[in-house]
Amino acid sequence: MDLNQGQQGEIRSNWSLAEVRALHALPFADLIWHAQSIHRRHFDPNEVQVSTLLSIKTGACPEDCAYCPQSVRYDTGLERESLMDPGTVIERARAAKANGATRFCMGAAWRSPKDRDLDSVAEMVSGVRELGLETCATLGMLTPAQARRLKDAGLDYYNHNLDTSEDFYGEIITTRTYQDRLDTLAAVRDAGIHVCCGGILGMGEDASDRVALLHTLATLAPHPESVPVNQLVQVEGTPLAGTAPIDPIEFVRIIALARILMPRAHVRLSAGRSSMSDEMQALCFLAGANSIFYGEKLLTTGNPDTASDHALFGRLGIRPEPAAASG
């Protein structure tokens, strides 16, 4: 494709699938150069937004997501935990802020929250926001009324990933449809909440599925403000345990592609960082990743500890993005 077209950092939601395929097929050096050039137009290249994620209700989820140790359908040895007390969650948020986080994300293993549970979550959201942190939640599918309830409580972001392409989706999940996910995203957007939406790489999909996922995200209008890119964390007992891992260079390509397609989004390097080398993470930052989850656990799977992240940031000359600048 013409390297002077479609890669200048303009905000578009009319990408064609052919354009996205052509970008993905660029020589690696060209792809990274364009991604880094666009990144610098919209962000400080040496700042990374830092979030902390807490599982506020763990396990016993009725969904059959093939990657998830929290599904009630799989024996992964995970201990079920009921919904946490709001006061405990707020204290955990206070500790996360002290460790440098600017956004606090609360995740619950539900297909969709019951209204009575949403009252407790709303109390958590309000309390975390009073600490001066941005708030994020991932609770499963939402109705428009539930999305408005969370907005009224002060929720800044709602995470609801598409996970993969629509064509490959049925290989991973059968208990909710792709359209169900899109409907939740629409309810969140209509309520005035920022959208956090991305996917998981390394679930057995091929390159065309990864391209199609990003095409779907990049043709949402507006784009998600936050785009988490996860590397599958394989858990014994789940159907995807033993899946061949994604090539690290291909993972970096997807980070770069997300940056080019969605120039103003925070592209988050999410699950799977514990198995990534420092060099791979450095390439991801070079390709346009500018957000991470921070802390030793990501819902129920491991994550690099804060000391390791501080050390890597120091080696790369990266600093955490100030709270007032994040979005």
Residues with catalytic function: 61, 65, 68, 105, 136, 196, 268
User: What's the number of CA atoms in the CB half-sphere (13 Å) around residue 323?
Assistant: 16
**Three-state secondary structure call for residue 122:** helix
How many whole angstroms separate alpha carbon 255 and alpha carbon 268? 9
Q: Are 40 and 71 in contact (CB under 8 A)?
A: no
Q: Write the CA distances from 17 to 14, 35, 195, integer angstroms.
A: 10, 18, 22
Q: Are 115 and 146 in contact (CB under 8 A)?
A: yes
Q: Are 325 and 134 in contact (CB under 8 A)?
A: no
Tokens representing 14?
């009319």
Peptide bond into 222 cis (omega under 30): yes
